[in-house]
A and B are shown apart, each in its own frame.
Chain A
Amino acid sequence: MKHVLRTTLLAAGLSALACLPARAQAPEPIKFGKIDSKDFDKAAFAGDSAANAVILCDYGRSRFDMGSQGGFVLVFDRVIRIKILKKAGYEWGDGAVMLYHKGADTEKLSNLRGFTYNLGANGEITKDKLETSAVFTEQVTGTLTRRKFTMPNVREGSVVEYAYTVTSDFLFNLQDWTFQHQVPTRWSEYRASIPEYFHYKQLWQGYEPLAVQERTDGSTQFVVRGSGGSVGGNWTTSHQGTSSQAVVAQVVNHRWATQNVPALREEPFMTTARDYVTQINFELEGVKWPNEAYRNVSGTWEKMQMELLNADEFGGQLNRGGFLKAQLSALTAQNPLAADRAAAVHALVRDNVKANGQTSLFSDAGIRKAWDQHQGNAADVNLLLIAALREAGLRAYPVILSTREHGRVDTNFPLLTRFNYVVAAVQLNDSTQVLADATEPFAPFGMLPAACLSSQSQGRLIQDAAHGSWVELNSPFRHVSYRSAQLTLDERGNLSGKLRDEQGGYRALQQRADLRQQGEKKYVENLLKQQQGWKIDKFAFQNTTTLTKPLMLDLDLRVPSEAEQPLGTIYLSLLQTLNEATNPFRLADRRFPVDFGARREETSMVTLALPAGYTVEEMPKNAVIDLPNGGGRFLFSVTPVGNSLQIMSRMTLNRSMYLADEYASLREFYERMLAKQAEKIVLKRKS
């Protein structure tokens, strides 16, 4: 993608020598090397006791220039100044810049410079320069290089400052900008001066308000040199050879800034911190050369769909399922119903090709090779699934999406870079569509990997180049566990009996993976680690490979007591013995939604036979605890039946996502549920 554009520009016949800077606008928020003595005033950081460092100012600027090789280049300048408050913040004294290169096109780092400022013994400010010996180059991959550097004399109270320029041949992605970091940011400002030839789409996200959002018009002069022969109708010049000409272009100057942005904090059950950070991304939408029509270079879903379908690593794979003809025609004959057939095709792909753990939107090996080698990346597997479904006569389409780790997709912006995964949509009949993924060895047909689920994002179904639609990424499967037990209590307080665990939906997926990883013995041992005091005499698993049924574990269980004599009073908190749970929501507050991915249900049903000669003196009262707005419910009851007790406990969470302002009630819901389960039954021996 990046490469394509570069070629386009060269074809436009541009090569140039220099350019004049854009007209001055608002004063710059920071000047490199001009330190403010306020930054050494302790009082100014009194409110930052929780932070290891504070970004005082982060200032970036993107503009266009003429590259030495001809054609436009993007020039990005950055100055950042950071106050180090604690030793744990010393890592902010190290910097890194990632640089991409592909073919002859590069991103180059230049003019890297830095100072560390400290307060001297007599209150004067000392400064130490970043030396070139402290700058290192690391080859990360074939196309990525990381330049790293470490600032001198960093101490508690130091201010470090560095600046650099990145010159890039890749015009497709104007440098993006992140306004929020792991430490508080006092001021973050980004400017972009974009000449009339380039039209970029802006993609915003985050929860922090902008303090400045300006847009002014100006002009810039570019000095353009005609390059021999290829000069065509793009520019009004028809000179050959080395002559040059000044061209004045209209420029839009953008300016965005945030003030006093708090640090970003990771919390459980969030998709990825990147979804919540305040930032802006760009993607080139179109180019408009003088005397030429506007050309859309990205921009519409149709275009993206077309591009994907034309790509050999994507659309090119979809109709190459012919090599499976023999297997599939047999399978088609055995399964006349579409639903059965789709499930059979899914099982065939899932059981024969192993996903190697690499997440990708594009096929790596190709589906044929993936089949032959029994492995491939996620796209190899799922494109193969689609191809096989089609070969079996079913209507199947790719659905592209972004995994939880990768962050949410904005449906307003057709940016291919926001997608990193593909699954299949199968149209079983006119009203039933199922999303399918074959990368999980233990997932039945129709269950997406948990990593694909999100209540905050959607997938794009691509029917053909001209037709696409949005599909929800919530699953019909839930996270289900059901524990039932028939136990007998004796007069010394010993419990014994049978217990059955059934795990369904996403819970089963996870547990089957654990079971495979640990083996049956280790799995049971790990269960014992969580259940203190249990003794297991016998265990048996069922449905370990029958994925359409719950995973079942039957146990012969004993919970011995230490009493040597029959007890006058027996205290029993049965559900605490059976579910040693803690509240997953430990922190008292939360800024972001709780995104479980799937809905949840946890049930325990226990029948407890009481020893003869005892009566129930006390037992927990029945209870119903509701989350607001039908979000969930906890039911608890104890019912005497003859000389036994029936105990039932069920938690249902009806949604897969809860907003940050529902967090307090969700936390309290768990708290009250756990307290209820901890309540005791008191038995007294009849006198």
Chain B
Amino acid sequence: MRVSSLFHAAALGSGLLLGARPAQAGNEPHWPVAAIPAALRENAHVVVRQQDDIITVKSAGRLLHTVHCVATILDEQGDDWGQAVVGYDKLMQLSYLRGNVYDADGRLLRGLRAADTKDYSAHDGFSLYTDNRVRVADLRQSRYPYTAEFEYEVSTTNTLHFPTWRPQDEEHVSVEHATLRVVTPAELPLRYLEERLPSGSAVAKSQQGSQLVYTWQLQELPATELEPQSPPLEELVPTVYTAPTAFEVQGVRGDLTSWQGLGQWEYQLNQDRGQLSPETTAKVAELVKGIADPKERARRVYQYLQSSTRYVSIQLGIGGYQAFPASTVASTGYGDCKALSNYCMALLKAAEVPSYCALVGAGRNRAALRTGFPSNQFNHMILCVPLKQDTVWLECTSQSEAFGYMGAFTGGRQALLLTPQGGQLVRTPRYTTPDENRQFRRAEVQIDEQGHGRATVRTRSTGLQQDELSQVLHQLSADEQRKYVYKQLALPAVTIEQHALQPDLRGPRPAMTERLTLALPSYASRTGRRLFLTPNLLNRLPPPAPHVGARQAPLQLNLPFVDADTIRYRVPAGYKPESVPAPVQLRTAFGSYDAQTQVLPDGTVQYIRRLQMPAGRFEPKDYEAYEAFRQRISKADRAQLVLVQPES
């Protein structure tokens, strides 16, 4: 089972207990596979037989979470569930971890031994340093099916983050029975948000003495399978989010009943961390000298930040929520998102431009913020500069991002602005019309008698369509950039002769211009007197992913965009068109498509294609029409032109 995701951050002290529970008397079988209902085996690699989560709130500053999970692993692909992975850190301790493994008939094979567990640094792949660690208990077997049972308890003093209950958090996993029980003092009532719970499984509340008890249960959830272009699994399966009313991290108490309260807490943690030395203040004054426009002042400060700092992730301090002081960043030139945002805010203050840090849930295609449920749904910090005309948002960890641009990583979502009055939800900029995210391309191609081609291509991409190119330019070496371009060129044979990327940050949205010179051996296929040519040089949309059976999930289109290609081919003299693809024009709710190939009077072949698609979510029943749309585009993108040389 994979449990590390339950906790945002987690600590292990000393008392780790290992060892199996003694096998129960009578040797009666445990969790025999034969007892699994047939419907739960269908399409499943794993059947969660029983999962019991108990959250016990000890005080505003301490929480126990015990987990008992029994999972039958049906085949090798379910093997992750033969392991327990428990994260911990300075604030979170693992009290015990026990386990047993049973064969298909439910006979105990063995209990968890010390040799089955290992301890690792939980390196996240981008942090220079974190104190997060994981303990991994491994009961995987080579004979399937088998049943792994784990029990553990973690005790945390980081109560900002309560566990999320989602027993079915992967595809191909079915759930036989799962329960959640929360026990909390009456003065600290639980806050919760139920999503997609089947009828009858809503909360049951009771009071036992001074304790409030909340329970949920789920049963017989068949396995799911993610379909192409569907919303993420977390938006499709039953879930209960939990959160405290009041919390405390390393002695700092906060109120989570409102966004205002969470924002207040985070604001106060960092409010005394903005002092700058007189030298730095003087430097800023010099930077903005004679500039009256606050936006321009902010731009200068941001450029200075980008040229003098870099992003180094060091996750320490009040559970990772407190930033390094601005003066530290000024002297070392690096910091994580909190430190750099806080530093930039201090620099802007010195330039007399007010700004506010904001928490945001960063990530491409991340689920929307649950705005009605104040809780820690964030993993990143950015900076907001409110101006009279418009508001500017700054990504302070990037040395190359355009001033004010929020791409697919942070744009188009709610963020929590941290002000002296507390937190306030505001929306980051979004680029929702296709026209903001363009890819316009022009190419000239020369085809010789043998069908070999040479092309010069110029492509200008803007907005969200330039995000990836911008990363390629700024994060990859020249060699790796070339490899990336080769990968993008979906042609059977091609040599890149020249390649250049040029950013343009002047407009309202960043743009990137790519120039390519390509050698295209046998681009046109020659057989006898004929040349066969696919006019769509570089922008062929793949057909939709094949699928079997009726669509279950909604269709989600994430990127609103418009692509326009104009390609002109000079073909060998004397060749006449024998077959020219008919023009295609498609108009649907999912977008519009136009493609036309023309042979101009001077013999030049001109191909013009335009594809525009919106972002949006569509009903499952609409998927068939979407598939047909994609198929027709795919077909049209592959259409061929036939040229023939008259017999001499």
Contacts and interface: CB of A to CB of B under 8 A. Distances in A.
Interface of A: 49-52, 86-88, 90, 93-94, 116, 128, 131, 134, 136, 138-141, 148, 150, 152-156, 183, 263, 265, 353-354, 356, 373-375, 516-517, 521, 525, 528-529, 532-533, 562, 569, 571, 573, 581-583, 586-588, 617-620, 670-672, 674-675, 678-682
A468 to B, nearest CB: 33
B492 A581 contact: yes
Given A148-B128, A618-B527, A671-B522, A87 B532 contact: no
A679 B526 contact: yes
- Which of B475, B493, B494, B635 has its CB near the most chain A CB atoms (within 10 A)? B493
Given A529-B546, A581-B492, A675-B522, A153 B333 contact: yes
B331 interface: yes
Given A375-B142, A682-B530, A529 B545 contact: yes
Contact of A678 (B141, B312, B486, B492): B492
Contact of A353 (B142, B483, B543): B142
B399 interface: yes
A525 B530 contact: no
A516 B78 CA distance: 12
A87 B474 contact: yes
A134 B310 contact: no
B492 A50 contact: no
Interface string B219-238: 00000000000000000000
Given A88-B476, A155-B307, 9 more contacts: A128-B333, A136-B129, A136-B314, A516-B76, A529-B545, A571-B579, A581-B492, A582-B490, A678-B492
A154 B334 contact: yes
B588 interface: no
B46 to A, nearest CB: 14
B477 A152 contact: no
B392 to A, nearest CB: 22
Given A532-B543, A532-B638, A679 B527 contact: yes
Interface in B409-438: none
Given A150-B312, A680-B527, A374 B332 contact: no
- Which of B140, B308, B400, B477 has its CB near the most chain A CB atoms (within 10 A)? B477
27 contacts: A50-B478, A52-B477, A87-B310, A87-B400, A87-B474, A134-B332, A136-B128, A150-B314, A152-B334, A154-B310, A155-B307, A263-B479, A265-B479, A516-B76, A532-B542, A569-B579, A569-B642, A571-B579, A583-B492, A583-B493, A620-B527, A670-B493, A671-B522, A672-B522, A675-B493, A680-B527, A682-B528
Interface string B478-492: 110011001100111
A153 B308 contact: yes
Contact of B331 (A152, A533, A587): A152
Nearest to B473: A88
A168 B312 CA distance: 30
A271 to B, nearest CB: 19
B163 interface: no
- Which of A134, A136, A678 has its CB near the most chain B CB atoms (within 10 A)? A678
Interface in B103-128: 120-121, 123, 128
Contact of B529 (A375, A562, A618): A618
Nearest to B547: A525
B143 A682 contact: no
Nearest to A567: B579
A588 B495 contact: yes
B600 interface: no
Given A375-B141, A587-B482, A128 B332 contact: yes
B634 interface: yes
Contacts of A87: 310, 399-400, 474-475
B354 interface: no
Contacts of B487: 586
Given A90-B310, A525-B546, A573 B525 contact: yes
Nearest to B76: A516
A124 to B, nearest CB: 15
Interface in B312-339: 312, 314, 331-334
B578 interface: yes
Nearest to A153: B333
Nearest to B121: A138
B591 interface: no
A150 B542 CA distance: 44
A374 B451 CA distance: 59
Contacts of B493: 582-583, 670-671, 674-675
Contact of A569 (B451, B486, B578): B578
B522 A618 contact: no
B486 A587 contact: yes
Contacts of B529: 618
Given A88-B475, A525-B548, A571 B640 contact: yes
Contacts of A263: 477, 479
Nearest to B546: A528
